[in-house]
Protein backbone atom coordinates (compact mmCIF):
# COMPACT_ATOMS: atom_id res chain seq x y z
CA UNK A 1 0.00 0.00 0.00
CA UNK A 2 1.34 3.39 -0.99
CA UNK A 3 -0.63 6.20 0.67
CA UNK A 4 -0.06 9.74 -0.60
CA UNK A 5 -0.28 11.29 2.89
CA UNK A 6 -0.67 10.22 6.52
CA UNK A 7 -4.26 9.06 7.26
CA UNK A 8 -3.70 9.66 10.99
CA UNK A 9 -3.72 13.39 10.23
CA UNK A 10 -7.19 13.21 8.68
CA UNK A 11 -10.28 13.31 10.91
CA UNK A 12 -12.71 10.54 10.30
CA UNK A 13 -14.30 7.27 11.14
CA UNK A 14 -12.29 4.53 9.51
CA UNK A 15 -9.96 2.02 11.12
CA UNK A 16 -6.56 1.71 9.39
CA UNK A 17 -7.30 -1.98 8.71
CA UNK A 18 -10.53 -0.99 6.96
CA UNK A 19 -8.67 1.65 4.97
CA UNK A 20 -6.06 -0.89 3.90
CA UNK A 21 -8.83 -3.22 2.78
CA UNK A 22 -10.42 -0.47 0.70
CA UNK A 23 -7.02 0.11 -0.93
CA UNK A 24 -6.68 -3.61 -1.71
CA UNK A 25 -10.19 -3.83 -3.15
CA UNK A 26 -9.51 -0.98 -5.57
CA UNK A 27 -6.24 -2.66 -6.54
CA UNK A 28 -8.03 -5.87 -7.54
CA UNK A 29 -11.26 -4.43 -8.95
CA UNK A 30 -12.08 -4.64 -12.67
CA UNK A 31 -11.29 -1.62 -14.84
CA UNK A 32 -13.27 1.56 -14.29
CA UNK A 33 -13.91 4.38 -11.86
CA UNK A 34 -14.64 4.07 -8.14
CA UNK A 35 -17.32 5.96 -6.20
CA UNK A 36 -17.74 6.64 -2.50
CA UNK A 37 -20.77 8.02 -0.70
CA UNK A 38 -19.79 9.84 2.50
CA UNK A 39 -16.33 11.41 2.35
CA UNK A 40 -16.46 13.67 5.41
CA UNK A 41 -12.89 15.01 5.83
CA UNK A 42 -11.45 12.58 3.31
CA UNK A 43 -10.01 9.70 5.32
CA UNK A 44 -11.59 6.94 3.20
CA UNK A 45 -10.98 9.15 0.17
CA UNK A 46 -7.26 9.08 0.93
CA UNK A 47 -7.14 5.27 0.94
CA UNK A 48 -9.39 4.82 -2.10
CA UNK A 49 -7.81 7.76 -3.93
CA UNK A 50 -4.24 6.60 -3.35
CA UNK A 51 -5.10 3.23 -4.90
CA UNK A 52 -6.88 4.97 -7.79
CA UNK A 53 -3.87 7.24 -8.34
CA UNK A 54 -1.53 4.27 -8.84
CA UNK A 55 -3.90 2.67 -11.33
CA UNK A 56 -4.94 5.84 -13.15
CA UNK A 57 -8.54 5.51 -12.07
CA UNK A 58 -10.93 8.26 -11.09
CA UNK A 59 -12.62 8.39 -7.68
CA UNK A 60 -15.99 10.16 -7.45
CA UNK A 61 -16.44 11.38 -3.88
CA UNK A 62 -20.10 12.12 -3.13
CA UNK A 63 -21.00 14.09 0.02
CA UNK A 64 -23.19 17.14 0.60
CA UNK A 65 -20.69 17.93 3.37
CA UNK A 66 -23.48 19.00 5.73
CA UNK A 67 -22.91 16.02 8.00
CA UNK A 68 -25.05 13.08 9.00
CA UNK A 69 -27.53 13.19 11.91
CA UNK A 70 -24.80 12.37 14.46
CA UNK A 71 -22.56 15.26 13.30
CA UNK A 72 -25.09 18.01 13.85
CA UNK A 73 -24.76 20.64 16.58
CA UNK A 74 -25.42 19.02 19.96
CA UNK A 75 -25.12 15.46 18.65
CA UNK A 76 -22.60 12.83 19.74
CA UNK A 77 -20.10 13.21 16.88
CA UNK A 78 -20.35 16.96 16.41
CA UNK A 79 -17.00 18.61 15.66
CA UNK A 80 -17.18 22.37 16.34
CA UNK A 81 -14.23 23.03 14.03
CA UNK A 82 -16.35 21.80 11.11
CA UNK A 83 -19.29 24.06 11.94
CA UNK A 84 -19.96 27.10 9.78
CA UNK A 85 -21.56 29.52 12.23
CA UNK A 86 -22.44 31.99 9.46
CA UNK A 87 -24.91 29.61 7.88
CA UNK A 88 -25.39 27.48 11.02
CA UNK A 89 -24.55 24.29 9.19
CA UNK A 90 -21.83 21.69 9.15
CA UNK A 91 -19.27 22.13 6.40
CA UNK A 92 -16.62 19.45 5.98
CA UNK A 93 -15.84 20.41 2.39
CA UNK A 94 -13.06 22.88 3.23
CA UNK A 95 -11.24 20.27 5.30
CA UNK A 96 -11.92 17.65 2.63
CA UNK A 97 -10.23 19.85 0.02
CA UNK A 98 -7.21 20.29 2.26
CA UNK A 99 -6.91 16.50 2.54
CA UNK A 100 -7.09 16.12 -1.24
CA UNK A 101 -4.61 18.94 -1.86
CA UNK A 102 -2.09 17.67 0.69
CA UNK A 103 -2.20 14.20 -0.85
CA UNK A 104 -1.91 15.57 -4.39
CA UNK A 105 -5.13 13.86 -5.40
CA UNK A 106 -6.61 16.84 -7.30
CA UNK A 107 -6.40 14.99 -10.61
CA UNK A 108 -7.74 11.72 -9.22
CA UNK A 109 -10.69 12.69 -7.04
CA UNK A 110 -13.83 14.32 -8.43
CA UNK A 111 -15.75 15.80 -5.50
CA UNK A 112 -19.51 15.79 -5.97
CA UNK A 113 -20.97 18.11 -3.35
CA UNK A 114 -24.57 16.96 -3.41
CA UNK A 115 -26.95 14.57 -1.73
CA UNK A 116 -26.44 11.01 -2.87
CA UNK A 117 -29.86 10.65 -4.49
CA UNK A 118 -29.45 13.89 -6.43
CA UNK A 119 -25.96 13.00 -7.64
CA UNK A 120 -27.20 9.62 -8.79
CA UNK A 121 -30.45 10.63 -10.43
CA UNK A 122 -29.08 10.65 -13.99
CA UNK A 123 -25.96 8.63 -13.37
CA UNK A 124 -25.02 6.38 -16.30
CA UNK A 125 -21.35 5.51 -15.75
CA UNK A 126 -20.38 1.95 -14.91
CA UNK A 127 -18.44 1.64 -11.65
CA UNK A 128 -15.71 -0.83 -10.68
CA UNK A 129 -16.40 -0.31 -7.00
CA UNK A 130 -18.81 1.53 -4.71
CA UNK A 131 -18.11 2.34 -1.06
CA UNK A 132 -21.16 3.30 1.00
CA UNK A 133 -20.48 5.27 4.19
CA UNK A 134 -23.15 7.99 4.14
CA UNK A 135 -26.25 8.59 6.25
CA UNK A 136 -27.21 5.87 8.69
CA UNK A 137 -30.98 6.11 8.71
CA UNK A 138 -32.55 3.13 6.97
CA UNK A 139 -33.99 5.47 4.34
CA UNK A 140 -30.64 7.09 3.58
CA UNK A 141 -28.74 3.82 3.46
CA UNK A 142 -31.36 2.15 1.28
CA UNK A 143 -31.35 5.14 -1.08
CA UNK A 144 -27.56 4.88 -1.39
CA UNK A 145 -27.81 1.18 -2.08
CA UNK A 146 -30.57 1.51 -4.70
CA UNK A 147 -28.93 4.53 -6.32
CA UNK A 148 -25.43 3.17 -6.77
CA UNK A 149 -25.33 -0.62 -6.76
CA UNK A 150 -27.03 -1.01 -10.18
CA UNK A 151 -23.97 0.66 -11.75
CA UNK A 152 -21.43 -1.85 -10.46
CA UNK A 153 -19.87 -3.96 -13.21
CA UNK A 154 -19.66 -7.78 -12.97
CA UNK A 155 -16.76 -8.67 -10.70
CA UNK A 156 -16.91 -5.19 -9.14
CA UNK A 157 -17.14 -4.54 -5.41
CA UNK A 158 -19.78 -3.10 -3.10
CA UNK A 159 -18.19 -2.19 0.24
CA UNK A 160 -20.41 -1.05 3.10
CA UNK A 161 -19.11 0.53 6.30
CA UNK A 162 -20.46 0.19 9.85
CA UNK A 163 -21.85 -3.33 9.65
CA UNK A 164 -22.84 -4.49 13.13
CA UNK A 165 -24.20 -8.01 13.53
CA UNK A 166 -25.37 -7.20 17.04
CA UNK A 167 -27.81 -4.24 17.37
CA UNK A 168 -26.24 -3.46 20.75
CA UNK A 169 -23.01 -2.52 18.94
CA UNK A 170 -24.52 -0.05 16.48
CA UNK A 171 -27.29 0.97 14.09
CA UNK A 172 -28.62 -1.66 11.73
CA UNK A 173 -29.19 0.29 8.49
CA UNK A 174 -25.83 -0.61 6.89
CA UNK A 175 -26.38 -4.23 7.87
CA UNK A 176 -29.88 -4.09 6.36
CA UNK A 177 -28.63 -2.90 2.96
CA UNK A 178 -25.85 -5.48 3.13
CA UNK A 179 -28.41 -8.25 3.61
CA UNK A 180 -30.71 -6.68 1.02
CA UNK A 181 -27.88 -6.79 -1.55
CA UNK A 182 -27.17 -10.46 -0.86
CA UNK A 183 -30.88 -11.29 -1.07
CA UNK A 184 -30.98 -9.70 -4.54
CA UNK A 185 -28.92 -12.65 -5.74
CA UNK A 186 -26.58 -10.27 -7.56
CA UNK A 187 -23.80 -10.20 -4.96
CA UNK A 188 -21.70 -12.73 -3.10
CA UNK A 189 -20.09 -12.15 0.30
CA UNK A 190 -16.38 -11.68 0.64
CA UNK A 191 -14.33 -11.54 3.81
CA UNK A 192 -15.24 -8.78 6.25
CA UNK A 193 -12.66 -6.39 7.74
CA UNK A 194 -13.86 -5.17 11.16
CA UNK A 195 -17.09 -3.31 10.30
CA UNK A 196 -16.36 -3.17 6.58
CA UNK A 197 -18.64 -5.54 4.68
CA UNK A 198 -17.52 -6.55 1.21
CA UNK A 199 -19.72 -7.92 -1.56
CA UNK A 200 -18.75 -8.80 -5.10
CA UNK A 201 -21.07 -8.41 -8.10
CA UNK A 202 -21.69 -11.72 -9.83
N1 LIG B 1 -15.94 7.95 4.96
C2 LIG B 1 -15.66 8.95 5.97
C3 LIG B 1 -16.77 9.12 6.98
C4 LIG B 1 -18.10 9.50 6.41
S5 LIG B 1 -19.19 10.17 7.64
C6 LIG B 1 -14.33 8.64 6.65
O7 LIG B 1 -13.58 7.80 6.16
O8 LIG B 1 -14.03 9.26 7.67
C9 LIG B 1 -20.68 10.27 6.73
C10 LIG B 1 -20.72 11.38 5.69
O11 LIG B 1 -21.88 11.14 4.89
C12 LIG B 1 -20.87 12.78 6.24
O13 LIG B 1 -19.80 13.59 5.80
C14 LIG B 1 -22.21 13.29 5.66
O15 LIG B 1 -22.20 14.65 5.24
C16 LIG B 1 -22.43 12.38 4.48
N17 LIG B 1 -23.82 12.15 4.14
C18 LIG B 1 -24.82 11.76 4.96
N19 LIG B 1 -25.97 11.63 4.28
C20 LIG B 1 -25.68 11.95 2.98
C21 LIG B 1 -26.47 12.02 1.78
N22 LIG B 1 -27.76 11.70 1.78
N23 LIG B 1 -25.86 12.40 0.65
C24 LIG B 1 -24.54 12.72 0.64
N25 LIG B 1 -23.76 12.67 1.74
C26 LIG B 1 -24.32 12.29 2.89
MG1 LIG C 1 -18.72 4.89 8.70
Per residue in 85-124, pLDDT tens? 999 999 999 999 999 999 999 999 999 999 999 999 999 9
Q: 40 CB under 6 A from ligand 1? A: yes
Q: 13 CB under 6 A from ligand 1? A: yes
Burial 171-197 (b: 16+ CB within 10 A, else e): bbbbbbbbeebeeeebbeeeebbebbb
Q: How far is the CA of 134 from the centre of ligand 1 (A)?
A: 4
Give pLDDT, residue 106: 98
Q: 64 CB under 6 A from ligand 1? A: yes
Residue 149 CA to residue 142 CA, distance in Å, equals 10
200 closest CA partner among 144, 128, 116, 126: 128
* Average model confidence (pLDDT) across the chain: 98
The residue whose CA has the least distance to atom 17 of ligand 1 is 134
Provide the pLDDT confidence category of residue 42 given band limits of 50, 70 and 90: very high
Residue 40 CA to residue 193 CA, distance in Å, equals 21
Q: Which of 136, 151, 161, 175 is catalytic?
A: 136
Give pLDDT, residue 170: 92
The reply to whether 161 belongs to the active site is no
**Maximum CA extent, the chain:** 48
Domains identified in the chain and CATH numbers:
7-114+145-197 (3.40.50)
Residue 123 CA to residue 144 CA, distance in Å, equals 13
pLDDT in tens, 113-165: 999 999 999 999 999 999 999 999 999 999 999 999 999 999 999 999 999 99
Give pLDDT, residue 127: 99
Give pLDDT, residue 135: 97
Amino acid sequence: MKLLSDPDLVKGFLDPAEGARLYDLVSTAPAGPVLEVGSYCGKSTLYLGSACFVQNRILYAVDHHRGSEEHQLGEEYHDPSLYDADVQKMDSFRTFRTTIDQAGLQNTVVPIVAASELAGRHWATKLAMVFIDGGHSLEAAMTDCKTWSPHIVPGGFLAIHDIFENPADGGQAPHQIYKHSIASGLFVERQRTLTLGVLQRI
